[in-house]
Amino acid sequence: MASTSSSCPLNDVVAAKSPPNSPNSSSSTRKACYAVLQSWVSQKFITGCVVLFPVAVTFFITWWFIQFVDGFFSPIYARLGIDLFGLGFITSLIFVFFIGMFASSWVGATVFWIGEWFIKRMPFVKHIYSASKQISTAISPDQNTTAFKEVAIIRHPRVGEYAIGFITSSVVLQRDEGDVGLCSVYVPTNHLYIGDVFLVNSEEIIRPNLSVRECIEIIISVGMTMPRVISPTVRIAPLSDDMHLDTII
């Protein structure tokens, strides 16, 4: 009887310390399952956003462009009693196509040259037109008039750091020690047509094996389309001392 009575308190202590079905254990299991479920839902939601974001941006820009272009000729069709969405957009595309054909001819080039001559003599308007024309020629498919001549990599802003840009023109810097050939390098800092212009020695410019269009894609994609390996092309010989500005631009 003594042994039986002495073992009862020990069993009570063990039972009190490790309850088989305690409320705390069930609550921890529910919290763990909820955390796993929340993590899984969040991961799938983020994945869905990543997939749909470029699609939504492309659709929004395309829809805005169609509405913008359609608005040029839609009022004309509205006055004629024709209400068909997209007809103004198609008319605008046909109009731009025929303008391109007309500008490619000798008569069209002459007409546009005369119009440009008048615009360049108008105050304030000539500055807007000149800046707009520089932007349009920068991405022109005509390689003879493109403003971005070559892709350039320069050391900027510190030694060991490089910036990618475009060579837009060349210039000769006259000094007492001798003339130095410089290249005007445009480095975009925000989007494509907002940036800084640097005059860099032509011998210190790295000319990579990238086309102008590939460099534009790299800048627009914030560097995500950058190739794994970039190799420099053959460097252009430095400008001689007897070369003038008119011969290198």
Comparison of pLDDT for 112 and 244, the residue scoring more: 112
Stronger pLDDT, 7 or 86, i.e. the higher one: 86
Which has the minimum average pLDDT: 38-42, 86-90, 144-148, 216-220? 144-148
pTM: 0.46
Q: Each residue of 1-28: pLDDT tens digit?
A: 444 444 444 445 444 444 555 555 667 7
184 and 218 Cβ atoms separated by less than 8 Å: no
- Cα–Cα dist 219/187, whole Å: 10
Q: Which amino acid is at 105?
A: S
Cα dihedral sign, 95-98-104-108: negative
User: What tokens were used for 115?
Assistant: 């119009």
For the four alpha carbons of 53, 54, 57 and 60, in that order, the dihedral sign comes to negative
Which H/E stretch holds residue 53?
helix 23-79
Q: Is 116 exposed, middle or buried (0-12, 13-18, 19+ CB in 10 A)?
A: middle
Residues 139/132, Cβ–Cβ less than 8 Å: no
